[in-house]
Amino acid sequence: MWRALNQFSRSRASWLLLLLCVVGLEATALYFQHYQGLAPCVMCIYERVALLGIGVAALLGLIAPNDPFWRTLSLLGYGATAGWALKLSLEHVSYQFPDPNQLFGATCDVAVNFPAWAPLNQWLPSVFEAYGDCSKVVWQWLGWSMPQWLVGIFSAMLLVWVLVVIAQFIGRPPRRIFS
């Protein structure tokens, strides 16, 4: 299993599969926003940006998946952004379902806060402008809100990442001393 996972991570197919997952999830988010009328909140936009970061890592992996430099760079980017996305989605869930023991519930920002060198909400407001409320549950499927589904999705992405990273070390083909 480890060797097969190692070999798969060295193929373009693995990074293309990750990129297709990102494109599918981003398309789903835009469908909910523009066709179902769900207003994205600040956390939704940040989660969307984190997902785009995973997509950038997948694109880097597509460059030369068998090259250790590009594969390592891609894996680092994938792991870092998937971890950040999981943190954001957990925070978002805490806004929707606050701890009943807290006196005051936490709330998210009113507007997105991108760096001055990348004001995504000004460049592409139809994708990156937030006008929803983070604490409102506006959609559920099978009893889970959208941020709860994102926790599951990003957890699965991180689990796959952990397995692929482990496979980089223990799934290597044996070295031949004599050819």
CA–CA dist 151, 93 (Å, integer) = 8
Q: Is 176 a catalytic residue?
A: no
d(CA 133, CA 143): 19
Is position 21 annotated as part of the catalytic site?
Answer: no
Residue 97 is given by DSSP the state S
Catalytic, 108? Answer yes
Choose, from 10, 21, 44, 71, the residue flagged as catalytic: 44
136: its two tokens: 């409102």
Active site residue 44: yes
Catalytic residue among 48, 172, 175, 176: 48
Helix, strand or coil, per DSSP, at residue 177: coil
Output the CA torsion sign for 65, 71, 73, 78: positive
Active site residue: 10, 21, 41, 71, which one? 41
Active-site residue identified among 21, 134, 172, 176: 134
Residue 17 is encoded by which pair of tokens? 């599969």
Catalytic residue among 71, 108, 172, 176: 108
- Residue 147 CB burial class (10 angstroms; 0-12, 13-18, ≥19): buried
Residues carrying an active site annotation: 41, 44, 48, 108, 134
